[in-house]
Amino acid sequence: MPRFFIEAELNVETTVELTETVFHHWVKVLRAQVGETATLFNGKGGEYEVELTEVAKKSASVFIKNFNADNRTPKFTTLLGQVMSKGDRMDYAIQKAVELGVSEIQLLTSERCEMRLKYDRDQKKLDHWQGVAIAACEQCGLNIVPKILAPLSLEKWLDSELPSTKLVLAPNKDEVNVLKDATRNIALLIGPEGGLSEAEISLSNNKGFINWCIGERVLRTETAPIVALSILNFNII
């Protein structure tokens, strides 16, 4: 059954007109006919089974049949602090982090950050990345869409109120099990291509972050959140 995110109030046993985006994808592209069903969610929790009841040239309506409260979120929450990267790598990192159950993504700048958003381009890029997160939710079944938060400097983020368990992907000479005492409320910091500088790692350590070294190989900035979140999904129960 196809799944779509819709910015609308949804209530069982009511009729709702599809937004332009959902109308295009479901009716125009997938050529849905009256009587076909789909799943809609609006990011407020749960999902709704709907039936297509009316199709016009430029609009369509659905009847909301029932509600499923399952959000399919992990048993832990993760705030991902991700230093921005250029090109498709950021799209990939956001898409896969959402599929793996990240709660929020805070975009960051750092000493070796490859990109800086500027004024009028800021919102356009943020809207694009939020769209990537929505599409990932449609695909994977999450019903609460993680927020993609406007960029902050690493220093400002480290000074903000953060979850109790703080992890930064960096060399760990002590080789301790950093997840042994982890809570279900986690901040995860991942640097740019080229990594965080020694000074930035030291600063994060001073703010309570523990170095987390995942294996002996160097991971790309877009691969690191996938590996880290996969491990968290397996270990935090």
Question: For 152-202, what is each residue's pLDDT tens digit?
Answer: 999 999 999 999 999 999 877 666 788 988 999 999 999 998 889 999 999
Per-residue pLDDT at 173: 64
Q: Which residue(s) pair with 82 in the sheet?
A: 107, 190
Q: Is the distance from CB of 118 to CB of 84 less than 8 angstroms?
A: no
- The tally of domains found in the chain comes to 2
**What CATH number does the domain containing 131 carry?**
3.40.1280.10
Q: Classify 93 as helix, strand or coil.
A: helix
**Whether residue 217 is found in the same domain as residue 164:** yes
- Residue 192's domain comprises 77-235
**Co-location of 145 and 216 in the same domain:** yes
Residue 172's pLDDT is 72
Mean pLDDT calculated for residue range 197-211? 95
156 and 85 in a single domain? The answer is yes
Domain boundary among 68, 87, 122: 68
> Which tens digits make up the pLDDT trace of 77-91?
999 999 998 888 999
CA 23 vs CA 114, 143, 186: distances in Å: 37, 19, 38
Predicted local distance difference test score (pLDDT) of residue 235:
87
Q: What is the pLDDT of residue 237?
A: 65
42 shares a domain with 148: no
Is pLDDT of 22 > 70? yes
Nearest to 93 by CA among 225, 207, 201: 225
What pLDDT, on the 0 to 100 scale, is given for residue 136?
Answer: 98
Q: What percent of the chain has pLDDT over 70?
A: 96
Query: CATH number of the domain that 20 lies in?
Result: 2.40.240.20
The pLDDT-based confidence of 120 (bands split at 50, 70, 90) is low
Same domain? For 107 and 210 the reply is yes
